[in-house]
């Protein structure tokens, strides 16, 4: 029996990069997986076709995490389609890089809406359907503990907020048997942060392992936390950054 057999998962921002790897891994481990996407409809379709061809169950949902109702609807569509919700993975996130003086209040509202508020909204809706053994896993960043340079203020703030949210949710949901954890990736080879970019060479000099991680590395950790193997981990985070923050 696969580790996540008979489980139902929802992954936000699951059509590309780390999110897509998480969707594939959870499906490979036996879960029925719903995932949201904002604009990458073609990529979402490719993932869905791939999982179905492999005998899995999947649902692609167009939803912009910046909009509260879209997040709520995604949770409920998952439950309607699969009859339950056991695992919520809050992966959707955005980065706004600007000089500090160029930021607007609109930038603040946008990054907080996606990186923080959407996580809270999804959790509130998901727990209505979760029972003992439920999992809420959010994808943060090692930058929550290390603002690596300029033009990171809003992003670092938003990812740091997830630490407090994780602690609080774990206390509130522990009595219900629901675990809440946070995964904090460092440099990961994706189309948004490729390992062959000029910036990558600079980042490698700051890492203990001096090499980028892969989206599959993050997906493997998420799958571990979602499984019975991770049943005693809650209210904390795991930084997976090749020693960047060491």
CA-based end-to-end distance of the chain: 37
The DSSP secondary structure of 94-125, one letter per residue, reads: ------GGG--HHHHHHHHIIIIIHHHHHHHH
Per-residue pLDDT tens over the stretch 217-229: 999 999 999 999 9
What is the per-residue pLDDT for 98? 93
Residue 226 pLDDT: 98
pTM of the model: 0.97
Q: What is the pLDDT of residue 69?
A: 98
Cα–Cα distance, 71 to 117 (Å, whole number): 10
List 37, 95, 108, 155, catalytic entry: 155
What residue spans define the domains of the chain?
8-238
Torsion sign (Cα): 51, 44, 118, 151: positive
Q: Identify the segments of the chain with pLDDT beneath 70.
A: none
- The CATH architecture of the domain made up of 8-238 is 3-Layer(aba) Sandwich (3.40)
Taking a C-beta distance cutoff of 8 angstroms, is the pair 54, 29 a contact? no
Q: Is 108 a catalytic residue?
A: no
The 10s digit of each residue's pLDDT in 85-106 is 999 999 999 999 999 999 999 9
């Amino acid at each position: 029996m696969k580790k996540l057999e008979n489980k139902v998962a929802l992954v936000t921002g699951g059509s590309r990069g780390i999110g897509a790897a998480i969707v594939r891994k959870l499906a490979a481990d036996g879960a029925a997986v719903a995932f949201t996407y904002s604009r990458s409809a073609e990529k979402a379709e490719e993932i869905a076709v791939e999982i179905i061809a492999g005998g899995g169950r999947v649902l692609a949902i167009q939803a912009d995490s910046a909009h509260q109702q879209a997040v709520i609807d995604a949770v409920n569509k998952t439950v309607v389609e699969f009859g339950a919700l056991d695992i919520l993975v809050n992966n959707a996130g955005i980065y706004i890089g600007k000089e500090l003086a160029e930021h607007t209040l609109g930038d603040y509202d946008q990054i907080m809406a996606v990186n923080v508020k959407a996580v809270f909204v999804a959790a509130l809706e998901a727990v209505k359907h979760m029972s003992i053994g439920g999992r809420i896993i959010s994808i943060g960043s090692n930058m929550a503990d290390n603002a690596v340079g300029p033009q990171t203020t809003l992003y670092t703030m938003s990812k740091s907020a997830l630490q407090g949210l994780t602690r609080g949710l774990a206390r509130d949901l522990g009595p219900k048997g629901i675990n809440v954890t946070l995964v904090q990736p460092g440099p990961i080879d994706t189309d948004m942060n490729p390992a062959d970019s000029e910036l990558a060479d600079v980042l490698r000099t700051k890492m203990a392992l001096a090499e980028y991680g892969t989206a599959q590395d993050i997906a493997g950790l998420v799958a571990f936390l979602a499984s019975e193997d991770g049943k005693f981990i809650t209210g904390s985070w795991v930084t997976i950054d090749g020693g960047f923050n060491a």
